[in-house]
Structure 1
């Protein structure tokens, strides 16, 4: 008899453990569903440090039904965008994991795949308003149960970015933060603020643009708008339609990869406030004295540390360049060159830094640079990686017109200065650069008089 009761208790305990470990998952659909169309249904999946890999669907009305939903903790909503194939976002698990690694919070994945999965994009746009209304009602319920609007962070991707804006507007901009990851452009470009995301939708709105010439939004939408590689074509993405679907989605999806890199601190990407990408590449926007002592803003999750400086400025555009793949961050140097050719020379400069077996390269070719006799030409060089100790430097000069006679660039002095580290600049004197031929020399700290 005792064995029977022991077995029954064990069985019941096993059932409870099984129930406790049942997970709710993101809605999986396929192209068939997108073709026939889907009706909107919004599902909220809760993840915390206690259930990092096991989502729990929340009741929209009875918040106490899920005890792991702690309203005294910050809450981050993750809102996906248009899903033309119905498949779940491949970045979802990564962003959940990285957010919870950053802080003890509630992560709510807003699963509106039933609605977002539809080949009729215009229909999905109308569902975005309904999704926002659904979230607004849920957040009001959170408020009534003691949650603070200031502790809410909404991360919206593509069409999801405008959904977060619609929600924020309903609360008169009192939500703590909205992050827009390449907000959708089609059906939103040219629309007034009430029909899209804008800076008044939250206490702080940060935006990244990577595909503004296709699926993304062109103009600034936040307190700070980051334009990666100018905001359009991303390095490493296909350049022709012959590459297949990657040609259409690579630039747009790069925004997510960049944001994930900021979350996991793969590297810090410094951005430089500027009026245009061209001025940034020309090195005209490297002064960040207005942001002292923090310095130039860091792209991504940690930009919140610059909130107090950025909000009074209302809208700031900031630019940075990246590598083709992770780690995406580049390292910036000033390159100051003084020449002594009698005639002005026009051309492009390529520089390599060597450290034992490591080499990193920067090509300054967005436009031809002019070199005048005894005048200092300042260039911005952005290297693929940061070498802590530079042993040798290689430099190559290429003229603008390959059909014209070759000529030489006589360099009186070249000086390289790391933009972030306080290293002593590296100098070299009296170099003769023949057209399209690389010259390598040992790096030497500049003399005190050359600072």
Structure 2
């Protein structure tokens, strides 16, 4: 993270720029503009470490007119999506500042609010190609002035994801990277690759899906497609229309906030390549042998570090779950249970990890687990936070059937293995879990033969 003094220096530098030049700001429209409709106008706002909080509008034709724009540095374009109310996106300042905290680059905020603001979504979709043509001409100008296509990163949100894809296609996939944050689904689902984002549009295309059952795109579009919480309903988002506008935009917008957490490293989220979300929850995708020695890909900004492995694999789907609010990252353990009940038991397991006053809990209840005599049952336990030293473990077994007699689960061995840290697994032997009664114990390091 930025040190206090480095951050202060940047801010003071930005204040100096601010005092020398008037800041250019993102177009702010309202519902009136949306109702009457707007014609397309694309504005490019430049942010650098020298003008961290004071955007400067760039000329599309005369790049040398803005001395802060150095085309030999990496350039990141941020392309927003549909703006039905005309207001600026709430995340624009966070994303520009956090990108500049990560690297010395040009950040170009692509403001096409005049065009994106319209109650008629179909009209806005027609502007996506025009916006892409505009950006393509600008990037060609950058090339003529010494810029490298490989150093360009486009981050597209919703419709902005497809705009980025159209631009990438114009350069035959030679742009360095396209990141798509919940690419728009309506009017793009079912389209051929040339009419939407696809993996050939850049050297590396990473995608996150958070609202695939409404405004987002369902199928994979990149070299790696992340599906947090399965890609549809996000934890903490409203479930009913009575919550107002948040009901419509929360899932869709979550993609941006998850990505912000990856830029500023609030969260280091490991994603698990898998054929489906159900398989992931069933604990069948916890090994990432094909990604050794780096391990499972990290979601978000740093996923580029897995590029050399992912690109030859063509298209990879990866899954993870999140908390309801920031920090979104959860901690994953593999849980291996061997039982010795004569009869097969079906049920759910809840596990708590304790470290003094700190407690974190995981409930494995997406479906009933099967426990057979002398057979190992493998489960995925996801905790809302990471506890460094586990002094006590509490476990509860339940069947969910209140009308039947209470059952017991006779555990021969339970083993918990942290999926990221190389800690020695934690074990416990010969315990009896009475249904709906929590049992607590101090874990012991697993015997060597149980690795």
| CA gap 1:28/1:394 in 2 versus in 1, 3 angstroms | same
* SS in structure 1 at match of 2:87: coil
Match of 2:55 in 1: 55
In structure 2, the residue matched to 1:424 is 424
- For residues 261-287 of structure 1, the C-alpha deviation after alignment (integer angstroms, 9 at most, x for no partner) is 000000200001111011111111112
Alignment partner of 1:256 is 2:263: no
- 1:40-189 mapped onto 2 (5 Å cutoff): 40-189=40-189
Aligned match of 1:12: none
**Match of 1:279?**
279
Q: Distance in 1 between matches of 2:140 and 2:223?
A: 25
Give the SS at the match of 1:360: strand
Q: CA RMSD in A?
A: 1.2
1:18 Cα deviation after fit: 7.5
Question: Aligned partners of 2:341, 2:374: CA distance in 1, in Å?
Answer: 8
Distance 1:402 1:124 in 2: 54
Separation (CA, whole Å) in 2 of partners of 1:21 and 1:67: 12
CA distance in 2, matches of 1:251, 1:237: 6
What does 1:320-359 align with in structure 2 at a 5 Å threshold? 320-359=320-359
CA contact 1:413–1:428 (8 Å) conserved in 2: yes
- Structure showing greater Rg: 1
Is the contact between residue 17 and residue 51 of structure 2 (CA under 8 Å) also seen in structure 1? no
Report the equivalent of 2:268.
268
- For structure 2, the residue ranges without an aligned partner over 5 or more in a row are 1-15
Partner of 2:203: 203
C-alpha deviation, 1:403, in angstroms: 2.5
Looking at structure 1, the residues matched to 280 and 448 of structure 2 have their Cα atoms a distance apart, in angstroms, of 29
Aligned match of 1:226 = 226
Specify the SS of the correspondent of 2:370: strand
Any unmatched runs of 5+ in structure 1?
Answer: 1-15
**Residue 293 (structure 1) shift:** 1.4
User: After superposition, what is the alpha-carbon deviation per residue over 1:206-240, rounded to whole angstroms, capped at 9, x for unaligned?
Assistant: 00000000010000000000001110011111112
- Which of 422-431 and 268-277 deviates more? 422-431
Give the Cα separation in 2 of the matches to 1:17 and 1:379.
55
Deviation of 1:405 (Å) = 2.3
Please name the residue that 1:7 is paired with.
Answer: none
- Indicate if the aligned counterparts of 1:346 and 1:400 stay in contact, CA closer than 8 A: no
Within 1, Cα distance between the matches of 2:84 and 2:400?
A: 45
Give the Cα–Cα distance (whole angstroms) in 1 for the partners of residues 421 and 130 of structure 2: 49
Equivalent residue number for residue 305 of structure 2: 305
TM-score, normalization by structure 2: 0.95
2:17–2:54 CA contact under 8 A, matched in 1: no
Measure the CA separation in 2 of the matches of 1:245 and 1:348. 36
Count of aligned pairs between the two proteins: 436
Secondary structure at 1:50 match in 2: coil
Tell me if 1:406 matches 2:406. Answer: yes
